[in-house]
Structure formats: structure tokens, C-alpha cells
A and B are shown apart, each in its own frame.
Chain A
Amino acid sequence: MSVQAAPPLKQGQKTARRKNRAALYELAVPLLATACLFLLWEGACRIFKIPGYLVPSPVDIWKETTAIGPTVAGHTLATFKTVMLGFVVSILISLPLAVILTASPAIAAAVYPFLVWTQSIPKVALAPILVVLLGTNELPRIVITVLVAFFPLVISIATGLLSVPPELIELSRACRASKLSELLRIRLPYAIPFIFAGLKVAISLAVVGAVVAEFVNADAGLGFLIQTSTAFFKVPVAFGALIILSIMGVVLFQIVVIAERVFFPWSSSNTTPGA
């Protein structure tokens, strides 16, 4: 008995160890690589005596940015707010839009050119016009963010809604189910992996969109901070804002990834137990 019981235990330990190692690779290696990059950067700045107003060293960036810590935090919060509002509005627009686009070929033919048109307009050019149109408040910033972020989301949700095996739609029809329950019970759950693929792109683009909007019209935000600090040759602060922006992008992206793993563990992009 004891001999038979032994191997599974070992197996369990082995998989646990393998999991630990995977976690190590996933977390520690990227962190280590980033640390090495910053060390190289610092070293290069010191050895080649690069002037701080061109490329500041990481230590200088840290010093100057933390010196105005509360101000930077305020700007970060302002950008975060624009990103999140833009992201949420993008979802609220994209989901019904994708449903309508996939439900009726006529509507799709009518709406699709407009969608492509919104994507072909350079957002930087549109931003000042929107400020005139909507006023110097949060609204034009959110509109710009949404315009940058929503398109890939619509496309991936629509693709997901159409990815359902035709047999399941036949089964739904054979059950005499309504179009609504077909949508809620079959099409939308099937689209989940596609929706999350779209959300990952959208959250990254929302950060881009928010900064573009802040460049044109803002009195706060990291985009605004970069513009004002470069105008006054406070290059280290601009670099600090840039680093905070990239961290914000990575963290928000990872939150989407984790949300998918937690709430939809069956979703195809995840590693699966037993398969």
C-alpha cells in the first residue's frame, strides 16, 4: 500500500516545483532584465557623461520626480481617470455595436464605412476640433480615448460572436429559442476569449488615447506634465512621467489578463488542466 501511495505524492511535489519554476520565470526574469537595463542606462550616463537635459540618468529621474511627488501623483490620477472612463465607455459602445453589426448584414453594410472612417482620421488632428466643439473639460479627452480604443474591441467582439459552431445555432433553433437567448446563452459566452483579446488591445490603446488628448487639451495629467516639463527643460520629470505611463499600461494590461483567468478559467487563451 505504502509503495503504491508513494509515486503520486512525488508527482504532486514535482508539479508544484514546476509551477514554482514557471512563476519564477514569469515574474523574476522580466524584473531582473528590467533592472539590468536601468543599470546599463545609469552606467552609460555616467561613463559617457551624457548631459541631463538630453538623457537623464535613472537616479536623476527618480530624484527629480519624487521631489514633486504629490504633484506627479495628482497628474497620474487625472490620466488614470481618463483612461478608465475611456475604457469603460469603449466597452459600453463596442458590445452593443458588435451585436448589431453581426445581427443584420444591412446594418453592418450601413455602419461599417463610418467605423472605418473614424479610424482613418488622425486623432491628434481631431482633438483641437473636439475641444472647440465640446469645451475644455474632461469630455473631449474621453471622446478621443474612446475613438482610439474602441475599434479593435468592436472587431474582436464581432469576430467572437460569429465564431460559434453552426451546429450550436441549429441546436438553438431546434429548441425554438429566441434570438436573445441565443445571444446570451451561446454567442456571448463563446465570444469571451475574443472579447478579452480585444480588451487587452483596448486598455493599451486607452492609455495612448488619453495622452494624445492631454497633449492637446488639459490642465492636468501625465501627458500635460510631459509637455510642460519639457517646455521648462525639466527633462528628468518628463522621463519620470513616461515611465509612470508605461507602468500604468503594463499593470492595467495584466489586470485584464488576471480577470480573464479568474472569471473565465475555461477561456481558450489560458493553459488548461487535463488538456
Chain B
Amino acid sequence: MISLNRVTRIFNSRDGDQVTALQDVSLEIGTNEFITLVGPSGCGKSTLLRIVAGLILPTAGRASIGGETITEPRAETGIVFQAPTLLPWASVLDNVLFPLRMMHRVDSTSTDKAMALLKLVGLKGFEGKSPRELSGGMQQRVAICRALVHDPDILLMDEPFGALDALTREEMTMELLRIWSERPKTVLFVTHSITEAVVLADRVVVMSPRPGRIQEVIDIGLPRPRSFETEATPEFHEASQRIRQLIFGTRHVGPGRAAA
């Protein structure tokens, strides 16, 4: 469904230098596949996500969805950011409806759709609340509803649980799997967390920095539906360990042997 062919993106930094954020990234993503992108800071994960979103264009190479080259944002894509960035003046319901309003696609069924989504994420009865009355996890749930309200076939998530506390984060991970099983989408999920990457994904794309490129793509064969117990299986540990090796390489973590 999403096809990246030798995608390269170079940014001009303020002092005139050129920074290669992505280099020769090629990846094929199937319909309703759950892909996680994991790697250290500066490996171009977010850049890759924004290229798929059509928010920035590749300097070289081709990115396409369903065979069509991405040249601008596409209506059938939903985005969730690290911060919920809800509108503080609008109610939860109006926040969910916001993309439809911006696209002039509000009709008589919109409110029902939004309410169904809020129910799906466990926020039934909160539609009239103001965002500041909700906790961080609840706000991020609203942001997920906002990304799903126009029923996109692609969902892009840029470290959506990165700003949440560890417990809420684990809860939201399972929540997302449940939502995804009820509303299958092609998901591209950027994360810093190896655990999160493995437990969510069909395939984990491990990236390396400077310049950002794909180091390895790891198939996660863990059976679905997954749960907290999944994290106790040997397969899970094996995949996590492999990713750790890829990211940290021969660097030894420990006192007195700092990475060069």
C-alpha cells in the first residue's frame, strides 16, 4: 500500500550546512500492516513519517501510496502527534470533529461517528468536557479519535505515548492494539521504546542515525491478539534483544566503558 523507493531527504540547516535526515530508504508496507519505526534520536523517523503524510517532500527517490506519488497531504491519512495538541476552547466532541470541519466534510452522521469513536476508546460521557479537565492519557485518546474520525486507511503516529507516564503508556499500548483490531488500518508508528515497538508491530523497522537509514527490518511473528503476557514469551525477548544489539551495536553499556 505504502511504497518507499530510495527516499532521501536533505535539510538545509540555518548555518548553510546540509543535513541528510534520510538516505536511500526503501520499504514496502502492506494494507492493514502495523509497522513500528524504532531508532535513536536523529535517525529520521519523524521525517519519514512526515514524508508519508505528504507534509514534506523527499529530496530524491519516490514515496507513493497505492501507486500514486505523494506530492501533498492526502485526506485519507490520520495523524497522532506526541503531544495531544487539542484545541483548548473546544469540547472533546468538537475536538474529534475538528478535521471534518477543516475538510468541510461534516454531515448528519458525523456526530454519531465521533461518539462511536469516543465510546471505542472508553471516553463515553466525556464528549462535553473541556480538554483541560482530562488527564494526559485521556487527552491522547481524544487525539486518536480525532485522527480516526474521517475513517482514514492510513494512521501515522509520531511517538504518541512518549509524553505519558510509564503505566499509562503500557495501558495505551494495549488500548491501541484493541482499537486497531476493531478498526484495521495501515499503521506507521514511531517510537523510542523497544518494548512498545515489538509488542505492537507486524514488522519493526530499525533505523540508524547520521544519515538516517534503515538498518534492518525484523518480522515479529508473535500471535495476535497480544496482551501483557506476550511480553513474557521467549520470542518477545529474542526480538527485543536483536533490536537492542542493532541499535547499540558493540557499544557496551555500563560504568567505566562509555561509548566512544
Contact = CB atoms under 8 A, between A and B. Distances in A.
Given A176-B73, A274-B133, A264 B102 contact: no
A125 interface: no
Contacts of A175: 73, 75, 99, 102-103
A21 interface: no
A177 B102 contact: yes
Interface residues of B, dominant DSSP: loop
Interface in A92-127: none
Contacts of A266: 88-89, 130, 132
A12 interface: no
A168 B82 CA distance: 12
- On chain A, which size bracket covers the interface? 20 to 34
B73 A174 contact: yes
Contacts of B99: 171, 174-175
A26 interface: no
B132 A165 contact: no
Interface in B43-83: 50, 53-55, 72-73, 75, 77, 79, 81-83
Contacts of B54: 174
A192 B89 CA distance: 10
A266 B53 CA distance: 31
Contact of B75 (A176, A189, A264, A268): A176
B87 interface: yes
Contacts, number: 60
B89 A264 contact: yes
A272 interface: yes
Contacts of B183: none
B72 A176 contact: yes
Interface in B95-130: 98-99, 101-103, 130
Interface residues of B, number: 24
Interface in A156-173: 165, 167-168, 170-173
Nearest to A164: B85
B105 to A, nearest CB: 9
A274 B88 CA distance: 14
Interface in A175-226: 175-177, 181, 185-186, 189, 192
Contacts of B50: 170
A272 B85 contact: no
Contact of B55 (A174, A189, A273): A174
Given A170-B55, A264-B89, A275-B132, A185 B102 contact: yes
A174 B79 contact: yes
Contacts of A173: 55, 73
Given A165-B85, A168-B85, A173-B55, A272 B73 contact: no
Contacts of B98: 171, 185
Interface string A135-174: 0000000000000000000000000000001011011111
Contacts of A165: 83, 85
Nearest to B150: A175
Nearest to A274: B133
A167 B83 contact: yes
A172 B53 CA distance: 12
26 contacts: A165-B83, A167-B83, A167-B85, A168-B85, A170-B50, A170-B53, A170-B55, A170-B79, A171-B79, A171-B99, A173-B55, A173-B73, A174-B53, A174-B54, A174-B55, A174-B73, A174-B79, A174-B99, A175-B99, A175-B102, A176-B75, A181-B102, A185-B98, A189-B87, A192-B89, A272-B132
Interface of B: 50, 53-55, 72-73, 75, 77, 79, 81-83, 85, 87-89, 98-99, 101-103, 130, 132-133
- Top 3 A-B residue pairs of the complex, sorted by shortest distance between their CB atoms: A175-B102, A177-B102, A167-B81
